[in-house]
Each structure stands twice: as structure tokens, then as C-alpha cells.
């Protein structure tokens, strides 16, 4: 088959409609919960209502005798089988962590922890019987508030003797990437500007739309596990390691997966329990969580206190940044829990040329749901902090927030640039992205309107929020991961199978769950091998088919997995050359490949890819020494990260009488490198931007004083709706990444990283005349209203508040040092 | 157990069901209509939206017995003769879905919005979809898809495709 004529000249860059859509818009989908197998049993979990308690009695007799119940398993039943859930990222040698049983044995450490599982013929029977399990608890004091937990007032795990899991530091003077930050701060205190702030990253819930579900079939020789996961390869490895089952006996399949956002980057107790139940009963078992279970037991994200000190000269040139984080681990360490805040260590300096930098992070246990990756994972937290600080610096110097950024950012001619955090940014152009964003936004006109509203003391004020962000994508060079004590590598794998009928199967180690890899991978292969887009089939998410892979997270799939695909495609061409040379009776050195055709240099003689593949398949007449297949594999370990960046501008109207914030316009100009499919890139940005806006305005996992998750359903955990959001203006600049052949940088997390500070900066910008310097997230009408009232400034008063004194009692929107008294129920003071 | 008689996607069914069985459970577990999905347990997310006698309902808030004698249409029943329903086609063309989990309910609700109001404004579309949650798309392209079907003029600045000047190579 030859390349068809009506396909776009280049697939890469074209807004191809998605291959995935046909099954998704018609309901012809294979979600894990759709699976029904002969003899299948259904699980219901019994979960602790207490944040911290000893289990003093557990009576399962009534449940066991309920109709249709095959088994009830408790921690005591499986304690010698279940092992301990694993943390793959011990960030320090002396990191402390409690054992993490899938089913609690004698003590529960957060509300929602599994204490028993019922196995029954139907899901309804299992749930009915779960109600009959009688558990006696002796409540223990719970460590809930993060700051008080850090002070070890109450221990989340008494046996550990402390709530501190680990302390991790990056210091530019020690690392040789910059000066000593304390010297810079001391100097700035004398003759410069010091900005000290404390920000809170509230606890969020990833809230993927498909609740997690897992099916385990123990019949047959291999154990087959279907799971709504982002990481089937991880689930296979960790099922083997945790339960002591040979990896070769385990097959994991991620079928259609309904979103993840980091929330399905996990090996879960529910997966372990389902495997245990299937092995115990010898029957296929299915567990599908309810949304309420999902919100309380699937891992949460963010949750940090950030104490920040920025030093600058009087003209606004930053001389140093010191970061002190308290990061809430929750009750246990999940797969990469402890490393999440550390990913931020490399991003607090953002796009700026800071001469000195220090990052300190203390990881702390509390008796709450454990935290782990959520879209951006460490980078949104860092970006929020620095972009808020740059606005504060601009106010202090008395210049426009874009001007202070430009004074400090890396200029386009300075790339590649090694930052104070030791990262080498390969490419970018902050000037171009910012100029384009200002133009699309109508920046100057909006500033004029803002002034007019201020002048006439309009009760609805206009705020303009700026966020000039960068991030690191393409997790990750294995050498770097090793240096950070991460247990695995960061490579990715691809296989290409050239089928005799001219079709192409692409097997990828990435595991898409909404990103559109089936479409984009087809575009890449269509261009690379000159085959029609429609002839490419992308296979993924089954460890028996995609046997090598490290899955999808951290905006890695395209920049790492896509590059593996490119390398495998190049091998296909190389393997085709001698076959083509033989067919064309030419020397291998004279064979050229372009547009799906092998031809002899300087002649019109040639053979199509399909003809060459067929010749290799029949193998009737191949010379000795030529392998009769063009199929190829490649594993690619990235040489470096990639660094997308962009300028996001948000205009928000703040009603000073009600505290309501209304988004008016939002412009993003992102540089994500070379774009494979602009339609998909725009979609990633829209979704990410709304998730970031949701952190700024609406979402928070709130616990009460007993450690109960108050926002435990979608009634209270307020995801944005269509009615809350607006349409966006998105554009791009392109500076190709130099670390992969595609020139791509990654886009999965960009929106979520950029938008949160843009929105909060807009709100604070609107309220500067009131003396407001911060509003804690989520910026609900109540918090905004209270911020205005407690700031105490008169409406027409110019912004005269200084950046100092800091952390003093009574200052608006600041927490009392060390108090955190109101943090646990998320109220402003 | 209660005997019910329901038409689903044009096929008549007679079944014995528990009175507490939800319509969505009946569709998924007894009829195998797994295109309709469950996303929450509080009727907030709308993933389970179907049409009952031509009007959208969240099938997690309807008991199967309440559907007795009624006509149910699910996402699996709106394509005709191999042709996608215009709303399905518009969701595809506008990239109004990513993971696709909310999509069946979102499409069924979007059809209902236009049945009630064939030419809605952007705000009316957004309000009409308020009971259906999507975590992937930020709603931008969902709104566009509904606008496309309504034939409404999409605001120029909301274009999903890059502006003509976009993607210009920048000197790095």
C-alpha cells in the first residue's frame, strides 16, 4: 500500500480528530466496572469512621451468614499475606514511614481506611452485608492540623516517635549553583527589599470522573488484574513486590480509563484487597468504589504551608529566595508521596535568574487521607508561591508586575540557561509569549479600566492577574531519578509491528486515559513511516501486550514515549533498507527513504513500505543474514527534562460588597515546543486551566476537628461546572525543545500550573487599594469579603502598606507564626 | 420483586426488579447498557443522564420501577442507521471529550438543552449543562459543540483552533 494522496502533507501539526472518540461518544466503552466474568463476586469495603483509633473488636459473624456472602476478610485474616503498601521514593536515607497494610490490622490511621472486606454474589449483597460487620474502636488522639503535627503535639503513628517523615534541602551554595541565600537576605534587610510571606496550598482531591474500579481474575495460570489506573506497569511490579507473587504470573490491564490527573498514579490498597479476595475465593472479584469512598480513600493532592523569603535590591532585582515548606503526607506514604513536594524544589526559581536559593522541606504525617501526585505535582505549589511573590515585589518597587518579571527573567538569547536550582533550560522565549499575551488580552486597556473603576470607587473592582510560569516535563532522566533516590527509571518503550497486510501496530508503554495518544501516536508514525494515519493502530495499557513501559504522568508521554516511538520507527526504516536494496537490486548505501517509499538514489526506481514489509514477511527470496521482519523496538531514556513555559493573564471582577469573584477574560500564550495536534493541546490547556482556577476559587478537602472529611461528596467538594467557567483565548509561541527529535515539551499540566496564581494575583490586584495583600485559597466570597473587611484600609487610600513587618500578629491574611489554629477547618481568621 | 415493562433504546423489556434498584443499575447490570455510567452517589455529576420519555433524567435518581411503562433512551440509542447523532458528531468535531467518562451523560443533557431551547446563548448553554460535571475539558469545547449543533455563532475569541498568527517560530 502506498501513502494516500488526500492525507495532510504532514500529520504532525494537523488538528486531527481523535480516533478514540467513536467508541466514547457511542457508549461502546470498556470501563473496568463494565466487566462481567463468569462466577464473578463483588466486594464492599468496611471503612473506619475514625481518624485514629485502635480496633478492639471485630465481629463478622452476621455478615458472613448474610445471603450470598462468600467471605469476609479482616486484617487479622490477611496479615501474613498482605505485606505492606510500598513507597517508591524514599527521599532521604533516614526517611521514616509506618507499615501500610492494605487492611488495617489493629489500628486505623485515617477516616476511610479499610478494616474489612465483604465478598458476595452481587454488589448490593456485599454492601448490605458490610453494614453488618461490627467493629469496636477505641479512639486515639488524632494529628490533624499540619503545623501542630509538625510540632509533634499528637503523634499520627505513636510507634514512629515523631510525625516528621523526612527533611530535604537544596542549597545553591552547597550545590555550587549559586550563592548563600542568608547572605543575600541579610544584605537586603540592610539596603534592599525583603518580602516575607506565608502561603497555604490547600488540600485538593484529583476527582477524576471515573471512580476507581478493579477486577481480579484468578482463574487460569496468570492472575489478570483490570484496573482503572494510570500505571498498569507499576501495578504489576508492586503487586508482585507487595504480595510476593512472581511478576511473570501477573497480567495487568488498564482498559478505558476515565481520567486520572495523578489520582490514579498509585498502587492502591483496594487493588491488593481485590487480589487477596480473588485468591481466597478462587473466583473473579470486582470492586468499584462509590464517589464518597473515592473522595476519602483515593489519594489527595497539594497541602503545604509555604514560608517564603525573597530578597531583592531596591530596584527590584531579586538576589535570593528561601523556601521553607511543611508538606502534609497524610497518614501513609503512597507510591511517590514523599517526592511530590521535592519536585517543586527545582521550580521555585521559575523563569528567573536568582543568584541564590535555598529550598527546605519537612514532610509530616497526619491522620488524614494520604497525599500524592495531583496534576502538576509540586510544580503548581512552587509556581503559585513565586508568582505571588513577584507581584508583591512589584508593589513594593512600585512598578507593573510584568515589568518586575522582565527585569528578572532569563532573556531569550541566554538559553540554554542553567538555573540556580541546577536545571538547564534548553529553550524558551518569555518576551515573545508575554508580548503576545498582552496583545490578545488588551492589557493596557484593562489597566485603564481598572484605574477608572478605582477612581470612581466602583463596588465591583477589576483585577489583573499575571502568571509567567515554566515547568519541568518529561519525567525523567533515569540518572536524575537515581540521584533523587527514586526507585525506578524514567525511560519509555515503544514497539512497531509492520503487519503483512500493510497495517501498523504501535505498542506504547505509556498508558493514556484521556490524552489522545491513539491519535497523536498515529500522526507521528504516519509522518515517520509514510503510512496512512488510518492504518496505524495504537495498543497500550496491557502488560502482556505492552510488556515494557513506565506509564503516563508528569507530562512525560510525548516527550519520552513519543521519542521512543521515533527511535523505533527509525529502526523500522533501517531494517527495511537491505530488503529494499535486494528487491531493487541496488546497494544498501544507495537506498533512500521518504514519504513511505524506499528508492534508489538518483533513479525513479522504488518500492513502497508495504511492498518491502510483504517481501520480509514472505521471506521467499531474502539473502542470508537479513532478518525477515521490519518490526522494531526502542527504549529511550531522556537526556534531560523539557521546560514548557507561558504567560497567562486573567481579568477578574471582584464585588467588594459580596466578595464574589467573577472571571471576565483569560488569555494563555504557551510555549509547549513543537505541537503535534493543536486541537488536543488546546483541550489539555482548557482542562488544566480550569483545574487551576478551581484551586484558586472553589475546591478544598476540608476536615473537621475529629478528622472527618467534611467535603466528602460532590455536594461539598465543589468541582467547577459549565456555569462557573468561561471560554478561553489560547495561543502559542514555539521554541522547539532540543532534548527530543519531535521538539515537543509537554502540555498535560501546564494549565493547572499556570492558572492558580493568575487568578489569585487578579483578586489581590483588584483589592490592593483596600490594603489586601493576600486571600487564602480557595478564594470563596466569604474569604474575599473578610479579607476586605479585615484589611481595614479605606477604599480610596493608595497602596502604602510595606512588605514589612512580616508575620506579625493581626496582619491581614497572615497566620500567627506557628499557630495554624484555624487551618484544619479551612476558615480564615 | 416488582415486575416492570420498559422500552430502552427501542427494545421492550419485562423484568423482575428489586424495588430499590436504581434505573442506572437496571440499565447497566440487567440490560448490559454499560454506555451509561455512574460517577457519583449524590446526583451531582450527571454521568448517568438518560432520556425518560424524551426528557433528561439522572438515572441514579430514578428507580427502575419508576420507569415502568416508560420509554428510556441512552447514549447507545441515539445514533441512527450507523450515523452519529448530530450532538455525538459535534462532540467529536469540537474535541468536547477527553477521557470520555462524562460524555454519555453530557451528550444526553446537551440534546435536552437544545430540545428545550434550540438557540441558546452561551450562558444558557452553560446553565443548561450545570448539572453535568466534566473534569477534563474545562467545558470550553463542550459549549462549542452545543453551539455548533444549535447553529449559534460561536464567539470569535473562543475559537479552539490556533489564531492565524499562532505557532510562528520564535527565535530561541
Query: Does A574 map to a domain?
Result: yes
For A430, the closest chain B residue by CA position comes to B172
Task: Round the average pLDDT of chain A to a whole number and report it.
Answer: 94
- For residue A551, the domain's CATH number is 3.30.365.10
CA proximity to A208, closest of A265, A254, A261: A261
Query: Does A642 map to a domain?
Result: no
User: CA angle, corner A497, sides to A491 and A503, nearest 5?
Assistant: 130
Considering the domain architecture, whether residues B99 and B137 belong to the same structural domain is answered as yes
Domain boundary among B75, B105, B137: B75
Contact assignment for A207 to B160 by CB distance below 8 Å = no
From chain A, the residues in CB contact with B130 under 8 A are: 721-723
Query: Does B118 map to a domain?
Result: yes
Identity of the residue in A20, A29, A211 whose CB atom sits nearest the CB atom of B35? A29
Contact assignment for B37 to A680 by CB distance below 8 Å = no
Q: How many CB atoms lie within 10 A of CB A590?
A: 15
* Interfacial B residues in 41-60 facing A (CB < 8 Å): 41-42, 44-45, 47
Domain boundaries, position B26: 2-75
Peptide bond into A416 cis (omega under 30): yes
Taking the CA of residue A725 and the nearest CA in chain B, the distance in Å comes to 8
* Interfacial B residues in 57-96 facing A (CB < 8 Å): 74-76, 79, 84, 88, 91-93, 95
Query: Does A805 map to a domain?
Result: no
The pLDDT, as a whole number, for residue A561 is 97
Kindly tell me if the per-residue pLDDT of A343 is higher than 50.
Answer: yes
Q: Is the minimum CB–CB distance between B33 and chain A shorter than 8 Å?
A: yes
What digits encode the pLDDT tens for the residues A384-404?
Answer: 999 999 999 999 999 999 999
What digits encode the pLDDT tens for the residues A477-512?
Answer: 999 999 999 999 999 999 999 999 999 999 999 999
Contact assignment for A27 to B158 by CB distance below 8 Å = no
Report the side by side order of strands in the sheet with A41-47.
Answer: A69-74, A114-120, A41-47, A285-288, A213-217, A223-227, A250-253
Q: Is the minimum CB–CB distance between B110 and chain A shorter than 8 Å?
A: no
For B99, the closest chain A residue by CA position comes to A514
Q: How confident is the model at residue A794 (pLDDT cuts 50, 70, 90)?
A: very low
Q: How many CB pairs below 8 Å do chains A and B form together? A: 220
Considering the domain architecture, whether residues B67 and B117 belong to the same structural domain is answered as no
Is the ipTM reported for this complex over the cut 0.85? yes
Q: How confident is the model at residue A2 (pLDDT cuts 50, 70, 90)?
A: very low
- For residue B138, the domain's CATH number is 1.10.150.120
Considering the domain architecture, whether residues B69 and B101 belong to the same structural domain is answered as no
Q: How confident is the model at residue A798 (pLDDT cuts 50, 70, 90)?
A: very low
Contact assignment for B172 to A210 by CB distance below 8 Å = no
The predicted model gives B98-113 an average pLDDT of: 98
Peptide bond into A367 cis (omega under 30): no
Considering the domain architecture, whether residues B69 and B129 belong to the same structural domain is answered as no
Query: Does B101 map to a domain?
Result: yes
Kindly tell me if the per-residue pLDDT of A380 is higher than 60.
Answer: yes
Is-contact A212 A286, C-beta < 8 A? no
Q: How confident is the model at residue A3 (pLDDT cuts 50, 70, 90)?
A: very low
Instruction: List the single range of A237-251, A749-763, A795-809 with lowest mean pLDDT.
Output: A795-809
Q: How far apart are the first and last CA of chain B?
A: 71
Contact assignment for B136 to A514 by CB distance below 8 Å = yes
Strand partners, A672: none
From chain A, the residues in CB contact with B142 under 8 A are: 722
Kindly tell me if the per-residue pLDDT of A804 is higher than 80.
Answer: no
From chain B, the residues in CB contact with A671 under 8 A are: 170
Identity of the residue in B39, B44, B93 whose CB atom sits nearest the CB atom of A17? B93
Query: Does A51 map to a domain?
Result: no
CA proximity to A317, closest of A346, A355, A358, A357: A355
User: Could you give the 3-state DSSP secondary structure of residue A680?
Assistant: helix
Backbone angles phi, psi at A601, to 5 degrees: -50, 130
Q: How confident is the model at residue A408 (pLDDT cuts 50, 70, 90)?
A: very high
The predicted model gives A326-332 an average pLDDT of: 98
Considering the domain architecture, whether residues B91 and B68 belong to the same structural domain is answered as no
Contact assignment for A291 to B171 by CB distance below 8 Å = no
Report the side by side order of strands in the sheet with A134-139.
Answer: A107-108, A53-59, A134-139
Contact assignment for A513 to B34 by CB distance below 8 Å = no
The predicted model gives A229-245 an average pLDDT of: 98
The predicted model gives B91-95 an average pLDDT of: 98
Kindly tell me if the per-residue pLDDT of A734 is higher than 90.
Answer: yes
Kindly tell me if the per-residue pLDDT of B172 is higher than 70.
Answer: no
Query: Does B165 map to a domain?
Result: no
Query: Does B166 map to a domain?
Result: no
Query: Does B94 map to a domain?
Result: yes
Contact assignment for A27 to B126 by CB distance below 8 Å = no
Contact assignment for A729 to B101 by CB distance below 8 Å = no
The domain tally of chain A equals: 1
Domain boundary among B15, B48, B75: B75
The alpha helices in A300-339, defined as continuous H runs, are: none
Q: How many helices (H) and strands (E) does chain A have?
A: 22, 28
Q: How confident is the model at residue A9 (pLDDT cuts 50, 70, 90)?
A: confident
Is-contact A85 A45, C-beta < 8 A? no
Mutate to test the interface with A, among B100, B102, B157 (most CBs of A within 10 A): B100
Query: Does A600 map to a domain?
Result: yes
Considering the domain architecture, whether residues B21 and B71 belong to the same structural domain is answered as yes
The predicted model gives B99-111 an average pLDDT of: 98
The pLDDT, as a whole number, for residue A814 is 52
Q: Is the minimum CB–CB distance between B160 and chain A shorter than 8 Å?
A: yes
Domain boundary among B75, B108, B125: B75
Kindly tell me if the per-residue pLDDT of A315 is higher than 90.
Answer: yes
Considering the domain architecture, whether residues B70 and B102 belong to the same structural domain is answered as no
From chain A, the residues in CB contact with B168 under 8 A are: 733-734
Query: Does B164 map to a domain?
Result: no
Query: Does A565 map to a domain?
Result: yes
State how far the Cα of B123 lies from the Cα of B116, in Å rounded to an integer: 15
Kindly tell me if the per-residue pLDDT of A683 is higher than 50.
Answer: yes
The pLDDT, as a whole number, for residue A791 is 81
Contact assignment for A26 to B142 by CB distance below 8 Å = no
What digits encode the pLDDT tens for the residues A142-178?
Answer: 999 999 999 999 999 999 999 999 999 999 999 999 9
Contact assignment for A25 to B92 by CB distance below 8 Å = yes
Contact assignment for A722 to B130 by CB distance below 8 Å = yes
Query: Does A553 map to a domain?
Result: yes
Considering the domain architecture, whether residues B70 and B94 belong to the same structural domain is answered as no
Query: Does B167 map to a domain?
Result: no
- For residue B64, the domain's CATH number is 3.10.20.30
Contact assignment for A734 to B167 by CB distance below 8 Å = yes
Contact assignment for B140 to A715 by CB distance below 8 Å = no
The domain tally of chain B equals: 2
What digits encode the pLDDT tens for the residues A468-479?
Answer: 999 999 989 999
Domain boundaries, position A537: 21-28+491-636
The helix (H) or strand (E) run that includes residue A632 is strand A632-636
Query: Does A495 map to a domain?
Result: yes
Q: How confident is the model at residue A828 (pLDDT cuts 50, 70, 90)?
A: very low
Q: Is the minimum CB–CB distance between B133 and chain A shorter than 8 Å?
A: yes
Backbone angles phi, psi at A636, to 5 degrees: -120, 125
Query: Does B169 map to a domain?
Result: no
Q: How confident is the model at residue A802 (pLDDT cuts 50, 70, 90)?
A: very low
The predicted model gives B54-58 an average pLDDT of: 98
Amino acid at each position: 500500500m502506498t501513502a494516500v494522496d488526500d492525507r495532510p502533507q504532514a500529520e504532525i501539526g494537523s488538528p486531527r480528530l481523535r480516533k478514540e472518540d467513536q467508541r466514547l461518544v457511542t457508549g461502546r466503552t470498556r470501563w473496568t466496572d463494565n466487566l462481567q466474568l463468569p462466577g464473578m463476586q463483588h466486594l464492599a469495603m468496611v471503612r473506619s469512621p475514625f481518624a485514629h483509633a485502635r480496633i478492639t473488636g471485630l465481629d463478622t459473624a452476621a455478615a458472613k451468614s448474610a445471603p450470598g456472602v462468600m467471605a469476609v476478610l479482616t486484617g487479622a485474616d490477611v496479615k501474613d499475606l498482605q505485606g505492606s503498601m510500598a513507597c517508591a521514593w524514599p527521599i532521604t536515607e533516614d526517611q521514616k514511614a509506618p507499615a501500610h497494610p492494605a487492611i488495617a490490622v489493629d489500628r486505623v490511621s485515617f477516616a476511610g481506611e479499610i478494616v474489612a472486606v465483604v465478598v458476595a454474589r452481587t454488589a448490593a449483597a456485599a454492601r448490605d452485608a458490610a453494614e453488618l460487620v461490627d467493629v469496636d474502636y477505641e479512639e486515639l488522639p488524632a494529628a490533624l492540623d499540619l503545623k501542630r503535627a509538625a510540632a509533634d503535639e499528637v503523634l499520627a503513628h505513636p510507634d514512629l516517635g515523631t510525625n516528621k517523615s523526612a527533611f530535604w534541602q537544596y542549597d545553591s551554595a552547597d550545590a555550587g549553583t549559586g550563592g548563600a541565600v542568608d547572605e543575600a537576605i541579610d544584605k537586603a534587610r540592610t539596603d534592599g527589599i525583603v518580602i516575607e510571606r506565608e502561603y497555604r496550598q490547600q488540600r485538593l482531591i484529583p476527582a477524576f470522573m471515573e471512580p476507581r474500579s478493579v477486577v481480579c481474575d484468578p482463574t487460569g495460570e496468570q492472575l489478570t488484574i483490570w484496573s482503572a489506573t494510570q500505571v498498569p506497569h507499576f501495578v504489576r511490579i508492586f503487586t508482585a513486590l507487595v504480595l510476593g507473587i512472581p511478576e511473570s504470573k501477573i497480567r495487568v490491564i488498564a482498559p478505558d480509563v476515565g481520567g486520572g490527573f495523578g489520582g490514579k498514579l498509585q498502587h492502591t490498597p483496594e487493588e491488593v484487597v481485590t487480589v487477596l479476595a480473588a485468591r481466597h475465593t478462587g473466583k473473579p472479584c470486582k470492586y468499584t468504589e462509590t464517589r464518597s469512598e473515592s473522595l476519602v480513600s483515593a489519594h489527595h493532592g497539594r497541602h503545604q504551608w509555604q514560608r517564603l523569603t525573597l530578597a531583592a535590591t531596591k530596584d527590584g532585582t531579586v538576589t535570593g529566595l528561601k523556601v521553607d515548606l511543611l508538606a502534609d503526607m497524610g497518614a501513609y506514604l503512597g507510591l511517590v508521596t514523599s517526592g511530590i513536594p521535592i519536585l517543586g524544589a527545582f521550580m521555585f526559581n521559575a523563569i528567573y535568574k536568582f543568584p541564590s536559593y535555598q529550598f527546605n522541606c519537612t514532610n509530616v504525617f497526619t491522620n488524614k487521607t494520604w497525599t500524592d501526585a495531583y496534576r502538576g505535582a509540586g510544580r503548581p505549589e512552587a509556581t503559585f508561591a513565586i508568582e505571588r511573590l513577584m507581584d508583591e515585589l512589584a508593589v513594593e518597587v512600585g512598578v507593573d508586575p510584568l515589568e518586575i518579571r522582565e527585569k528578572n527573567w532569563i532573556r531569550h538569547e541566554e538559553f540554554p540557561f542553567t538555573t540556580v536550582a541546577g536545571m538547564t533550560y534548553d529553550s524558551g522565549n518569555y518576551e515573545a509569549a508575554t508580548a503576545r499575551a498582552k496583545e490578545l488580552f488588551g492589557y493596557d486597556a484593562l489597566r485603564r479600566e481598572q484605574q477608572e473603576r478605582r477612581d470612581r470607587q466602583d463596588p465591583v473592582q477589576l483585577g489583573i492577574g499575571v502568571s509567567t510560569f515554566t515547568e519541568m516535563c518529561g519525567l525523567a532522566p533515569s540518572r536524575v531519578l537515581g540521584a533523587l533516590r527514586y526507585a525506578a527509571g524514567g525511560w519509555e518503550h515503544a514497539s512497531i509491528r509492520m503487519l503483512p497486510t500493510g497495517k501498523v501496530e504501535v505498542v506504547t508503554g505509556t498508558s493514556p486515559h484521556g490524552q489522545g495518544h491513539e491519535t497523536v501516536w498515529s500522526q507521528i508514525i504516519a509522518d515517520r513511516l509514510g503510512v496512512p494515519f488510518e492504518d496505524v493502530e495504537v495498543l497500550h495499557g496491557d502488560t502482556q501486550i505492552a510488556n515494557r513501559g513506565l506509564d503516563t504522568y508528569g507530562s512525560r508521554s510525548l516527550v519520552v514515549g513519543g521519542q521512543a516511538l521515533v527511535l523505533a520507527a527509525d529502526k523500522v526504516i533501517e531494517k527495511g533498507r537491505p530488503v529494499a536494496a535486494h528487491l531493487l537490486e541496488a546497494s544498501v548505501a544507495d537506498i533512500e527513504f521518504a514519504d513511505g517509499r524506499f528508492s534508489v538514489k538518483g533513479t525513479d526506481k522504488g518500492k513502497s513500505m508495504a511492498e518491502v514489509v510483504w517481501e520480509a514477511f514472505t521471506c521467499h527470496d531474502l539473502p542470508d543474514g537479513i532478518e525477515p521482519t521490519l518490526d522494531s523496538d526502542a527504549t529511550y531514556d531522556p537526556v534531560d527534562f523539557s521546560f514548557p513555559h507561558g504567560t497567562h493573564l486573567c481579568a477578574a471582577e471582584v464585588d467588594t460588597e459580596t466578595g464574589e469573584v467573577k472571571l471576565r477574560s483569560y488569555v494563555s500564550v504557551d510555549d509547549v515546543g513543537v505541537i503535534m495536534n493543536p486541537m488536543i493541546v488546546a483541550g489539555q490547556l482548557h482542562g488544566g486551566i480550569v483545574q487551576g482556577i478551581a484551586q484558586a476559587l472553589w475546591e478544598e478537602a476540608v476536615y473537621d476537628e475529629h478528622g472527618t472529611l467534611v467535603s466528602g461528596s460532590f455536594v461539598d467538594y465543589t468541582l467547577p461546572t459549565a456555569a462557573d467557567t468561561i471560554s478561553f483565548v489560547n495561543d502559542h509561541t514555539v521554541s522547539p525543545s532540543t532534548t527530543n527529535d519531535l521538539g515537543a515539551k509537554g502540555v498535560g499540566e501546564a494549565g493547572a500550573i499556570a492558572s492558580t496564581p493568575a487568578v489569585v494575583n487578579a483578586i489581590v490586584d483588584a483589592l490592593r487599594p483596600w490594603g489586601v495583600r493576600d486571600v487564602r485559597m480557595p478564594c470563596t466570597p466569604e474569604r474575599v469579603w473578610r479579607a476586605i473587611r479585615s484589611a481595614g484600609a479605606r477604599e480610596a487610600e493608595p497602596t502604602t502598606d510595606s512588605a514589612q513587618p512580616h508575620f506579625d500578629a493581626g496582619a491581614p491574611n497572615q497566620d500567627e507564626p506557628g499557630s495554624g489554629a484555624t487551618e484544619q477547618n479551612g476558615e480564615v481568621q | 420483586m416488582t415486575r416492570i415493562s420498559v422500552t430502552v433504546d427501542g427494545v421492550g423489556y419485562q423484568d423482575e426488579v428489586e424495588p430499590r434498584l436504581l434505573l442506572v443499575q437496571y440499565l447497566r447490570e440487567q440490560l448490559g447498557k454499560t454506555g451509561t455510567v455512574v460517577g457519583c452517589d449524590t446526583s451531582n455529576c450527571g454521568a448517568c443522564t438518560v432520556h425518560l420519555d424524551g426528557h433528561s433524567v439522572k438515572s441514579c435518581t430514578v428507580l427502575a420501577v419508576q420507569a415502568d411503562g416508560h420509554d428510556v433512551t441512552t447514549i447507545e440509542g441515539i445514533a441512527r442507521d450507523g450515523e452519529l447523532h448530530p450532538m455525538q458528531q459535534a462532540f467529536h468535531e469540537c474535541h468536547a471529550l477527553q477521557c470520555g467518562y462524562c460524555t454519555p451523560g453530557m451528550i444526553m443533557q446537551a440534546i435536552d438543552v437544545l430540545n428545550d431551547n434550540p438557540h441558546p446563548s452561551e450562558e444558557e448553554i452553560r446553565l443548561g449543562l450545570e448539572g453535568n460535571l466534566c473534569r477534563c475539558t474545562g467545558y470550553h469545547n463542550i459549549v462549542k459543540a452545543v453551539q455548533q449543533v444549535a447553529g449559534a455563532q460561536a464567539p470569535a475569541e473562543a475559537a479552539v483552533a490556533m489564531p492565524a498568527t499562532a505557532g510562528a517560530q520564535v527565535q530561541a
